[in-house]
């Protein structure tokens, strides 16, 4: 037994070392996949998107003092963290994808076609590009062939569904923030808001679907048909669908988490203010 002990320990050490090496490689590959697929950049834009929605609500007539607006925006910066959302996406992908799966996905994202498509998407994501896109929306929608491609890509990527989910989360977050600021001493009731949103959902979906279509046609106008066919084939692969589905699940959980953190932080800040006012009035 004693003679076998060193051998056993050596085998155990090697097995542990190998498993740690594999785990590290998978983590590194996931980090590359996040960057190359655009997930890191997209998630990084969410805080500004929520704050922009909040400011739009304020500008449309919500009566909130400037000092409180500043506190609420600071709270958003503190709680709506891209790192939390990305962590949830990573957790979801780690459970659903093997390292071999991730490497196969990286083969695509590191290809010339994928790099050109990603570059086109990034070029189309600037405020200036968005304005150009909206100005030429009717012309873009007249390109029936590319609109049909956009519809298939939307279906494969679940772009409209994801946009609807994000709209729902961000809408609840903004509404909750504004109502809590306007009446911090009252319990928040979302039933009326959710009922109104449910009634508006068909029209919202149609609008978002059209916006997604315009966005895809605009983004890929410099990409040749053959490259888009290859992209569509990639999206049709089971491994890609698993990646997209898993990423969206993690995104939803992460977004729900940071929105809840923001709501809790706002409630604490504003209720503390009410308590201080009550004490000073006493």
Question: What is the DSSP code (8-state) at residue 135?
Answer: H
b/e per residue, 39-60, with b = 16+ CB within 10 A? Answer: beebbeebbeebbebbeebbee
| 200 alpha carbon, distance to own chain's centre | 22
Residue 218 near residue 197, CB atoms below 8 Å? no
| 161 alpha carbon, distance to own chain's centre | 12
CA distance 106 to 134: 33
Query: For residue 243, what are its two tokens?
Result: 């990646």
C-beta neighbour count of 237 within 10 angstroms: 14
> What's the predicted TM-score (pTM) here?
0.78
**Domain layout of the chain by residue ranges:** 34-273
- pLDDT score at 45: 82
pLDDT in tens, the chain (282 residues): 445 554 444 444 444 444 444 444 888 899 999 989 888 888 888 888 888 877 877 777 667 778 888 888 899 999 999 999 999 999 999 999 999 999 999 999 999 999 999 889 888 888 788 889 999 999 999 999 999 999 999 999 988 988 888 788 778 877 877 787 777 777 778 888 889 889 999 999 999 999 999 999 999 999 999 999 999 999 999 999 999 999 989 998 998 899 889 888 887 877 776 666 666 655
CA distance 139 to 133: 10
């Amino acid at each position: 037994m004693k003679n076998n002990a060193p051998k056993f320990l050596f085998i155990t050490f090697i097995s542990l070392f190998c498993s740690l090496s594999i785990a590290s490689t998978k983590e590194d590959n996931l980090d590359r996949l996040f960057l190359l697929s655009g997930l890191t950049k997209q998630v990084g834009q969410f805080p500004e998107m929520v704050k922009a929605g909040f400011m739009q609500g304020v500008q449309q007539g919500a009566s909130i003092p400037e000092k409180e607006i500043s506190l609420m925006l600071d709270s958003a910066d503190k709680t709506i963290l891209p790192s939390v959302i990305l962590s949830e996406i990573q957790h979801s992908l780690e459970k659903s994808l093997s390292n071999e799966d991730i490497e196969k996905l990286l083969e695509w994202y590191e290809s010339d076609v994928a790099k050109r498509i990603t570059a086109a998407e990034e070029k189309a994501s600037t405020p200036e590009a968005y304005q150009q896109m909206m100005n030429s929306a009717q012309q873009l929608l007249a390109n029936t062939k590319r609109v049909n491609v956009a519809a298939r890509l939307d279906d494969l990527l679940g772009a409209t569904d994801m946009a609807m989910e994000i709209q729902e989360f961000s809408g609840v977050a903004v509404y909750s923030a504004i109502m809590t600021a306007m009446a911090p001493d009252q319990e928040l009731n979302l039933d009326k808001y959710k009922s109104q949103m449910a009634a508006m959902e068909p029209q919202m979906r149609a609008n978002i679907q059209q916006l997604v279509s315009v966005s895809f046609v605009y983004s890929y106008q410099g990409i040749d048909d053959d490259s888009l066919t290859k992209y569509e084939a990639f999206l049709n692969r089971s491994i890609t669908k698993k990646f997209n589905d898993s990423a969206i699940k993690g995104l939803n959980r992460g977004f729900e988490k940071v929105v809840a953190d923001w709501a809790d932080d706002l409630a604490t800040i504003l209720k503390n203010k009410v308590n201080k006012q009550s004490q000073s009035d006493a």
